[in-house]
Amino acid sequence: GKTMYLSDSHPSVQKIWAFDYDTDSGTPHNRRLFVDMNHHLGRPDGAAIDTDGCYWICGNDAGLIHRFTPNGKLDRSLVVPVKKPAMCAFGGPNLDTLFVTSIRPGGDISDQPFAGGLFALRPGVKGLKEPEFQG
């Protein structure tokens, strides 16, 4: 695609920015606010894009994976059994599984025994194939 996203999870920011991306020069430009996560549960963390152009992002500290439409509107949120989902990526033979990693915090985690786990969700959509690194 031609859009690049940047999520800033710092507690004083919590915003997701979109940029137009020049694939020839590798230069982002035209920064604009995509989503202000201060209006949603969880801090923005890792994300993936589906074939509808929707943006899936982990809501860290909230135990949620949010799906935003291409115009930045919340479409839905999926619950995961941990407080700190960290990164999501589509995979599997048909790219229809959303894999989610999570953070295992230090200290007592008896209230979240699955913290640090990897989860596989079936959200009913397919992800975009990621381009291979060209060196």
What CATH number does the domain containing 41 carry? 2.120.10.30
Q: Is 134 among the domain residues?
A: no
Q: 62: domain range? A: 3-121
Q: How many domains does the chain have?
A: 1
Q: Is 96 among the domain residues?
A: yes
Contacts of 33 (CB under 8 A, 6+ apart): 15, 16, 17, 18, 72
pLDDT, tens only, 34-86 = 999 999 999 999 999 999 999 999 999 999 999 999 999 999 999 999 999 99
Q: Which two tokens stand for residue 128?
A: 């975009």
Indicate which residues carry an active-site annotation.
45
pLDDT, tens only, 97-127 = 999 999 998 888 888 899 999 999 999 999 9
Query: Which residue(s) pair with 87 in the sheet?
Result: 101
Q: Is 34 among the domain residues?
A: yes
